[in-house]
Structure 1
Amino acid sequence: MSLNDIAQPSTARNLPSLLADLHARNSSCTIAVSGTPGGTIHVRDGLVVAMETPGAPGVEAILLKSRRLTEEAWTSVRATDTTHEHLARELVAQGLLGAGELEVVSLGALFDAAFALSLNRQTGWEVTDPVPVLYAGTGVPPERLVTETTRRFGMLTKEPGSIARDARDRVHPTYPADPPESAARLSPRHRDLLAATDGRRTPRDLAFTLGRGLFAVLLDLRHLLELRLVRYAAPAGTARPSTAPRTPGTDAPAPRSAPATAELPRRLPRRTGQQAASDSPEHTS
């Protein structure tokens, strides 16, 4: 199916509407979503197979930071497939990951990216031809994506806008030195999260540091908040980005998501791949 057959702005009122139309048409394409932080949605035969956004760790970051995969192994496999077209198959074929494990990680990263995108205001989209991406499994229909995102918001919602605000605020420990005795009774994942909380990192930074999903981090932070072990604090100056490193011992800054709402995109201009090429020769999907 050519891009000319894909939903026009008049029929796609918003992003869920576009995905539903692509699903009905059994289309394959890539959607570049603009905004802060924006992202990329990969559709194959009408199903959403992957999403990428700076707002949440992707499959690669999760595999490496969680130490399911070593840097050496990733580099070796990556060299065999620079386009990611067959990367998932190579990871399984070389015995580095089980097919089931990779599918679970891929699906989790997809749902987490959808959640992260929904936290921020987007400004539009561009539909292009499909581009290769690392994913495992057959993908999910758009309605399942919406249902799962809604469920996650329901589990976290305290007041309008609170989730988006928490996701961009820095997390501080509430104790000056050693953790209190209550911290010793925490699960290992809660202890790891508490140890990474240094007053500089946002939940997004913590997710990248630990190789965990943003939603999972926010959910565990709520538990630490209830125990009064951490607190949220907005950085001084609303326009100043977070300078927290994604991993311990590095000075590389991790940009922070700008203030946003949990709404999905509403104003959604579209250009075909041919139009995009003529407008900007340097444009890439």
Structure 2
Amino acid sequence: MTAPEARNVPALLLGLREEGFSGTVRVSGHPGGTIHLRNGLVGAVETPGAPTVTSALLTSGRIGDEDWLAACAAEPDADRLGGHLVAAGLIGAAEREVVCAAAVFDGAFAMALSPPGSWELSDREPALLAEPGVEPRQLTEETSRRMALLARSGGAPSELTRVRPAAVASSGPRRPGGLARRHQDVLDHVNGRRTPRDIAFALGRGLYAVLLDLIRLEALNLVRWDVKAAPDSRPSTAPRAAGADSPAAAAAPKVVPLPKRRPGGGFPGHDGGLRGG
């Protein structure tokens, strides 16, 4: 499989699956991202558009900064870091797999929200992986399902991620009876200035899950938003890694700059995207 042979990223990933490719696919664009494959399966998707596994573990408090730094020092190869975290008792095997797999699907979803640029194949880079990985076809189908569900429920997904929802004023207590904790956590971060992406990074939760919770909160008349974001709105200012000032963030795997580009396609929601095609 060479770069020009595939018409888009989904087709590329299917071809790489057939070849059992282990390596990296970098996709340019806004936000763009890096797809890590092992034996043709998608083990990780890292993008500035959604929290990574590292962010999910540290921001949520599942693993403390000191424990994380010690684990990275003991196992510097990120491919094996997940197993070390389990062996050290810092996270359960099942929870680790859930977090890693969720980040793969959420990263692909975030990359689907904007027109893609080009893509480039490169050698394997260490990453905190879902094991054994996600089938490319399953990733494409799930991304398509999420895009379609959001479009039916709240509007164009790409527009939903750019708005800044505000809390609806109420004379009573802010938490209505029966409101789930996850919804309350999102509501506590709604201030009319944060985008859904900002809230996702602040909570260390998936962007897609936060969007669903905001739609639910709007249905309960607890938040309001206008899906037509102002074109001159300031860009999101959320940190793109767990705790920008945290020493643990420095130990997290980084996405390196895009090398020489080659023409290609992108993710779902646009021509040649991960919705198939």
Q: Provide the TM-score with structure 1 as the length reference.
A: 0.80
Matches within 5 A, 1:1-285: 6-9=1-4, 11-158=5-152, 162-175=156-169, 179=173, 183-233=176-226, 237-238=231-232, 240-243=234-237, 263-264=269-270, 266=272
Aligned-pair identity in percent equals 46
Higher mean C-alpha deviation, range 211-220 or range 159-168: 159-168
Helix, strand or coil at the partner of 2:160? helix
1:66 shift after superposition:
1.6
1:23 shift after superposition:
0.7
1:236 shift after superposition:
5.2
Helix, strand or coil at the partner of 2:225? strand
1:83 shift after superposition:
3.9
1:114 shift after superposition:
0.7
1:155 shift after superposition:
2.1
Larger RCO: 1 or 2 (CA < 8 Å, sep 6+): 2
String of CA shifts for 1:41-85, please: whole Å, max 9, x gaps.
011111111100011111011111221111111111112233413
1:263 shift after superposition:
2.4
In structure 2, how many angstroms separate the alpha carbons of the residues matched to 1:245 and 1:176?
30
String of CA shifts for 1:213-261, please: whole Å, max 9, x gaps.
11111111110011111122466552631345689x999xxxxxxxxx9
Helix, strand or coil at the partner of 1:145? helix
In structure 1, how many angstroms separate the alpha carbons of the residues matched to 2:171 and 2:237?
22
String of CA shifts for 1:72-111, please: whole Å, max 9, x gaps.
1111111223341321111011111111110111000100
> Amino acid of the residue matched to residue 269 of structure 2?
E
Distance 1:176 1:230, change over 3 A: same
String of CA shifts for 1:141-166, please: whole Å, max 9, x gaps.
11100111122123211389611101
> Is residue 202–residue 238 contact of structure 2 (8 Å, CA) maintained in 1?
no
1:35 shift after superposition:
0.2
Root-mean-square deviation (Å): 2.7
Helix, strand or coil at the partner of 1:184? coil
Number of aligned residue pairs: 250
Q: Provide the TM-score with structure 2 as the length reference.
A: 0.82
In structure 2, how many angstroms separate the alpha carbons of the residues matched to 1:216 and 1:48?
21
In structure 2, how many angstroms separate the alpha carbons of the residues matched to 1:41 and 1:192?
30
Instruction: Extract structure 1 runs of 4+ deviating beyond 6 A.
Output: none
> Is residue 144–residue 268 contact of structure 2 (8 Å, CA) maintained in 1?
no
Distance 1:128 1:119, change over 3 A: same
In structure 1, how many angstroms separate the alpha carbons of the residues matched to 2:158 and 2:92?
34
1:177 shift after superposition:
7.2
> Amino acid of the residue matched to residue 150 of structure 2?
L
String of CA shifts for 1:110-167, please: whole Å, max 9, x gaps.
0010111111111110100111101131011111001111221232113896111011
